[in-house]
Chain A
Amino acid sequence: MEAVHEHDHSHDHPSGIMRWVKTTNHKDIGTMYLWFSFAMFMVGGVMALILRAELFQPGLQVVEPEFFNQMTTLHGLIMVFGAIMPAFVGFANWQIPMMIGAPDMAFPRLNNWSFWLLPPAATLLVLSMFVPGGAAGVGWTMYAPLTVQQGMGMDLLIFAVHILGMSSILGSINIITTILNMRAPGMTMMKMPLFVWTWLITAYLLVAAMPVLAGAVTMTLTDRHFGTNFFNAAGGGDPVLFQHIFWFFGHPEVYIIAIPAFGVVSQVIPAFSRKPLFGYASMVYATASIAILSFLVWAHHMYTVGMPVEAQLYYMFATMLIAVPTGVKVFNWVATMWRGSLTFETPMLFALGFLFLFTIGGFTGLVLSLTPVDVQLHDTYYVVAHFHYVMVAGALFSAFAGVYFWLPKWIGKMYDETLGKWHFWLSIIFFNVTFFVQHFLGLAGMPRRIPDYSLQFTDFNMISSIGAFGFGLSQLLFLYILIKAIRSGEKAPEKPWEGADTLEWTHLPTPAPYHSFETPPTVK
């Protein structure tokens, strides 16, 4: 009786809204993560455009400074926690079970819960704009003691961060358990596709880093309301303590975003080079090294707080060291392409865009690692340019590459290749128009997070704003391409990509059935 019930349950297809609310299917949950991420990408994008509209010209034209600060804060938080991270969790949900030959995630109900924590958190963030005092205007870094001066928008933000953190931790536990326990026979650790490896490492980073952030914002909350003085010097606390705690989370967070992006690119480049990934083992070791190092370099975000010079030297050397494993990864990707048989469909274009621009972001990271230079560039637009090369051209382009790459497997239909190429070229051109010039603004000394600037910065800001609107509008094309593919895309061939060789391409039909690998495949 029990067995029969179980059987019925696992093949139950509820329809309508309840299918999505109650689903425990990794594919449904992956889809929800990805659409949620795209919606947040649009919300955060509109906020970025409000910022760039204000910065189009010197003077205050569009918004008040308070609102400007609220937009910088929400743009950062929504893009990091609402758009980029859920996008890669979406990929993890769809791909990890299929790539390791598992029927689903290890904890399907927990999986459902991890996703459904996100919409309330996003709602809190967006709602905070409409409470008395508006949203918090403190930047996504939430430095004390400015946070103490904020209205209740700050409290909503803190609760949103708590919920987002819970979602990430639960999702990570699920991913770790799935990867460690549910691999098909013969799928040894060192045979796992690199995307799975990168997610295993990322999930450990999340489990280690997110509670630290929760601690930081909880201390902020008690400083605000319950009379504690963690970050208040008058009560024996230290404002800089917040920065240490925040960046102990914050630097691994950078790699939480970047490492799954490495994983996607490490699947796409070999597929379109028709060659196996070069240096698979060294890729795994490099990723693990980056993850470990990421916990040892946090104070390079704090070179101007006045640390002892010995500490600055340590953080400088440790940070420079990250260039080594990162370099290994870049060299491996180039070596994968070397003497391959390359074709340039949209996923490959985005992967190459990633490779080119992420490397530039890595170069500027090297410049910033040097403490004496960073003291000049810290909190200027140079830093803004640097991390957008890593976050947008790095993580976002990699996510685009992943969507175009796996969409045929997910929905059984092809996207419009011509439009996909348009999306790539518009994105990469407007991205550079927006962010390349910000390097010059930073070098010349324009601080970040200012709503108005002196006349010397006018020209580059104007160019950057034009680029930003171009980039934003180009993403509507992406939405159109997705809708077109879903509604009227050509039927995808069983194996649309000649060079793709992971289990989802070799052992499953296209589109992948709702339940896949109910009996595990045997991996040789």
Chain B
Amino acid sequence: MIKNDIKSTFGGSMRLTAFLRLICVGTVMLVPGLAAAELQWNFKPANTEIGVAVHDLHSLVMWIIVLIAIVVFGAMFYAIVKHRKSAGHQAHQFHENTTIEIVWTVVPVFILVGMAFPATKALLELRDSSAPDMTIKATGYQWKWGYDYLDEGISFYSTLSTPREQIEGDTEKGENYLLEVDNPVVVPVGKKVRILTTANDVLHAWYVPELTVKQDAIPGFIRDTWFRAEKTGTFRGQCAELCGKEHGFMPIVVNVVSEDEYKIWVAEQKSRVAARN
């Protein structure tokens, strides 16, 4: 039964050793009824090309770590089992071996250099916010986000829309509890969207896991990040930098829509602005 659980829960993603999985599943078993639940064991699927590259980098590093762990912990547990006094093992009094000490200093350097190449490539891509198709300024406030579409002249605030009663436990919590807003950000699919971040009061951070974006919003300074969504859909994140008492209650919702839908949305927003004026 445990085996089936592992299979169904982990599906195709293989990021951890079977040993660690067993610990986790064992842990889950501690709480009755949880084993059946859908649990998120890894990154949520990335909706950007660079996100996929980052997740692949993470998987690669995890596999390297698994191999190192097998060697190191293997030796450790072998010694624990075979070289114990109760098994009659006598201590050998050696305490240095220059060759092996050089080997285990130099080999890790090569492994690290091997990891540095894909990491550098991913980082350079991740930070290349040049030539965007559109730019949105995200301003952190205590405790909501303000958005300005710099090319379209659209501006709005985006505030948590989860009712207070759900937070206090007076009514049942909705599906998107704490991750829903009154005015979501709307962007077209497949376009390079540059996000400028800044803040009005204290530090905030604009974080949407599935878009592989996290950028601090700093009062008085402008920083940038970008994403190019591959698929349409709704993607939810939240402020990631402690910003006071409502830090946990200023989510980010990004609706990725088709080009046509985006145009309609822009027209609607503009007419709303016109009507207000």
Query: CA separation between A467 and B241, bound complex, in Å?
Result: 26
Query: CA separation between A239 and B216, bound complex, in Å?
Result: 11
Known: A313-B120, A339-B91, A342-B84. Is A238-B79 also a contact (CB below 8 A)? no
Query: CA separation between A352 and B77, bound complex, in Å?
Result: 10
Complex contact B202–A316 (CB within 8 A): no
Complex contact A306–B218 (CB within 8 A): yes
Closest A residue, CB atoms, query B40: A444
Query: CA separation between A27 and B179, bound complex, in Å?
Result: 55
Closest B residue, CB atoms, query A70: B245
Complex contact A59–B166 (CB within 8 A): yes
Digitize B1-28: 1 where CB-to-A-CB distance is under 8 Å, 0 elsewhere: 0000000000000000000100110011
Query: CA separation between A462 and B31, bound complex, in Å?
Result: 9
Q: How many residues of B contact A (CB 8 A)?
A: 100
Query: CA separation between A361 and B116, bound complex, in Å?
Result: 20
Tell me if A17 counts as interface (CB < 8 A to partner B): no
Name the interface residues of A312-338: CB closer than 8 Å to any CB of B: 312-313, 316-317, 320-321, 323-324, 327-328, 330-331, 334-338
The residue that A274 contacts in the complex, of B85, B237, B249, with Cβ under 8 A, is B85
Closest A residue, CB atoms, query B64: A366
Digitize B108-147: 1 where CB-to-A-CB distance is under 8 Å, 0 elsewhere: 1100100110011011101100000000000000000000
Closest A residue, CB atoms, query B126: A372
Known: A58-B177, A376-B43, A444-B44. Is A340-B79 also a contact (CB below 8 A)? yes
Query: CA separation between A304 and B218, bound complex, in Å?
Result: 11
A-B contact count (CB 8 A): 300
Complex contact B240–A380 (CB within 8 A): yes
Complex contact B242–A146 (CB within 8 A): yes
Tell me if A404 counts as interface (CB < 8 A to partner B): no
Digitize A425-454: 1 where CB-to-B-CB distance is under 8 Å, 0 elsewhere: 000000011001100100111011111111
Known: A234-B220, A327-B104, A341-B90. Is A372-B122 also a contact (CB below 8 A)? yes
Query: CA separation between A337 and B116, bound complex, in Å?
Result: 32
Contacts of B58 in A (CB 8 A): 367, 370, 373, 376
Contacts of B95 in A (CB 8 A): 275-280, 336
Contacts of A309 in B (CB 8 A): 123-124, 127
Complex contact B248–A453 (CB within 8 A): yes
Tell me if A459 counts as interface (CB < 8 A to partner B): yes
Digitize A332-365: 1 where CB-to-B-CB distance is under 8 Å, 0 elsewhere: 0011111111111000000010011001100100
Complex contact A344–B203 (CB within 8 A): no
Query: CA separation between A243 and B89, bound complex, in Å?
Result: 52
Tell me if A240 counts as interface (CB < 8 A to partner B): yes
B interface residue numbers (CB < 8 A to A):
20, 23-24, 27-28, 30-31, 34, 37, 39-44, 53-54, 57-58, 61-62, 65, 68-69, 72-73, 75-76, 79-80, 83-86, 89-97, 100-101, 104-105, 108-109, 112, 115-116, 119-120, 122-124, 126-127, 166-169, 173, 175-179, 197, 201-203, 205, 207, 209, 212, 214-216, 218-221, 223-224, 236-249
Q: A340-B79, A370-B58, A444-B44 are in contact. List 18 more A-B contacts (CB 8 A).
A: A60-B167, A60-B169, A66-B245, A145-B202, A278-B96, A281-B96, A282-B96, A323-B112, A340-B83, A341-B91, A372-B54, A376-B214, A440-B39, A443-B43, A445-B207, A453-B248, A454-B178, A467-B27
